[in-house]
Amino acid sequence: MAMQGGTALQEKVSRMLSRKQKKPVLKPNKPLVLKDEVANRKIKKGEATCVTEMSMMMACWKQNNFVDTLCSNEMQSFYKCVEKAQIAVKDKSEQQTIGQSGRLQPKQATTLLKRYPNLHIEV
Amino acid sequence: MFIKQAEQLKLEKQHGQVDSGHQGVIRPGRVFLVRWSRYNPYYLEPEPRKEVYHIPETELTPEQKEERELKSVRPIKAATNSVTSSVFNDPVLSKFVNMMMKDGDKIIAKGIITQTLENMKRKQVEKYHKAPEGKKAEIECNPYAIFHQALENCKPVIGLASIQKGGKFYQVPIPLTDNRRRFLAMKWMITECRDNKHRRTLMYEKLSQELLAAFSKEGNVVKRKHELHKMAESNRAYAHYRWW
């Protein structure tokens, strides 16, 4: 089943490369070979954490002309928020490495591919 | 650099018992290259503080008991030269000394810091004796306390990061980690004392002046911190450009 799929793909690629019918669709400057690794990427883009706390602290600074002693409450709440955000990030990354939800993580895919790499030397 | 490496090799040849990061048999008398080797991750950090070992068995929490059991099984890294179990060992002060050190000359850096602390103590004691009876209790004479408080007063709360968005770079206010804040405070202190001083004033003199000023929240370093805060405040609209 995989071999059939493989030959069909190769036929399509050779058709795209050929100059017999019309202009070739593909003009590759490198050989059409897949790499032994998968790109690391996070699909979801994160958002800025602790913006409210930061803006409260800055408003307090603006009022008190940047004297730190009068803004200690807001600063403490800002530090707590930052700590919580850091712990949340750690937990999230831990949870991602453990749970996959049906898909391989990019790092796991790379490890597997490296075990059976493309042969580029004929030995 | 090569001389030090040769000395290192010689030492290992004498001891011959180093567990370097390499996999292999350790044979006594055999020479190993240890300059770039790393400890295996299962090595644990040493605990130099004496109080931890004086806690009696009964008062240990379950986590501490677990830790002790783990320590009896796993190997422990060698403690560095700068870490001692004495009462005078201060990690913040050691970090400051290391940051002030040039070309590996710790003796000069440590000497400057000792002179600074002595100088601060002298100034504070002079102020103490000249002060009226009511004000005497407020004057802080302990130079270590002054150093720590001054450094706390110099630490910035938020920093700025250069983030690219749509082809342009914006200075975005970001929260800083504790290590980064401590590093910035020390760095500002040292650069300020090196650059803005009269040709004839010595480093310890200028440092003691700056530390005492920072202790009372005046002086150039605290001003620099306030300027950073003002920049961050003026750029607060870009705070949403952060993605972490």
Residue A61, phi then psi, degrees to nearest 5: -60, -45
Range name among A61-65, B21-25, B78-82 with the lowest pLDDT average: B21-25
Q: What is the pLDDT of residues B140-156, one digit of tens each?
A: 899 999 999 999 999 99
For residues B165 and B241, the answer to whether their CB atoms sit within 8 Å is: yes
Burial of B14 (0-12, 13-18, 19+ CB in 10 A): exposed
The average confidence (pLDDT) of chain A is 86
B240 part of contact set with chain A, CB < 8 Å: yes
B175 part of contact set with chain A, CB < 8 Å: yes
- CA atoms of B222 and B209, how far apart (whole Å): 13
For testing the chain B interface, which of A51, A52, A54 should be mutated: the one with the most B CBs within 10 Å?
A: A54
Percentage of the residues of chain B whose pLDDT score is greater than 90: 65
- CA atoms of B64 and B163, how far apart (whole Å): 43
- CA atoms of A9 and B25, how far apart (whole Å): 53
Band of residue B18 on the pLDDT scale cut at 50, 70, 90 = very low
Residue A89 scores a pLDDT above 50: yes
Residue B159 scores a pLDDT above 60: yes
CB contact under 8 A, A48 and B158: no
| Residue B16 pLDDT | 46
Q: What is the pLDDT of residues A41-54, one digit of tens each?
A: 876 777 888 899 99
Residue B44, phi then psi, degrees to nearest 5: -100, 160
Q: What is the pLDDT of residues B76-114, one digit of tens each?
A: 999 988 899 999 999 999 999 999 999 999 999 999 999
Chain A CB contacts of B243 under 8 Å are 45-48
| Residue B58 pLDDT | 76
* CA end-to-end span of chain B: 41
For residues B42 and B73, the answer to whether their CB atoms sit within 8 Å is: no
Percentage of the residues of chain B whose pLDDT score is greater than 70: 89
Short-list A51, A49, A73, CA closest to A63: A73
Interface predicted TM-score (ipTM) of this complex, two decimals: 0.75
Domain ranges in chain A?
36-115
**Nearest neighbour of B240 by CB, restricted to A51, A58, A89:** A51
CB contact under 8 A, A89 and B230: no
CB contact under 8 A, A82 and B175: yes
| Residue B234 pLDDT | 92
A122 part of contact set with chain B, CB < 8 Å: no
| CATH architecture assigned to B91-241 | Orthogonal Bundle (1.10)
| Residue B27 pLDDT | 63
Residue B158 parent element (H or E):
strand B158-165
A64 part of contact set with chain B, CB < 8 Å: no
Residue B137, phi then psi, degrees to nearest 5: -70, -25
Which pair of tokens denotes residue A10? 């190769």
| Residue A59 pLDDT | 92
The top-scoring range by mean pLDDT among B26-35, B55-64, B172-181 is B172-181
The predicted model gives B200-229 an average pLDDT of: 94
B173 part of contact set with chain A, CB < 8 Å: yes
Residue A79 scores a pLDDT above 50: yes
Chain A CB contacts of B214 under 8 Å are none
In the numeric block, the tokens 């300020």 are attached to B192
In chain B, which segments carry CATH 1.10.455.10? Answer: 91-241
Q: Report helix, strand and coil shares of chain A as percent, to nearest 5.
A: 55, 0, 45
For residues B133 and B120, the answer to whether their CB atoms sit within 8 Å is: no
Q: Supply the DSSP string of B74-130, one letter for each residue.
A: S-BPPPPTT--SSTT--HHHHHHHHHH--TT-HHHHHHHHHHHHHHHHHHHHHHHHH
Q: What is the pLDDT of residues A101-117, one digit of tens each?
A: 778 888 889 999 999 99
For residues A87 and A79, the answer to whether their CB atoms sit within 8 Å is: no
A98 part of contact set with chain B, CB < 8 Å: no
Chain A CB contacts of B153 under 8 Å are 68
B239 part of contact set with chain A, CB < 8 Å: yes
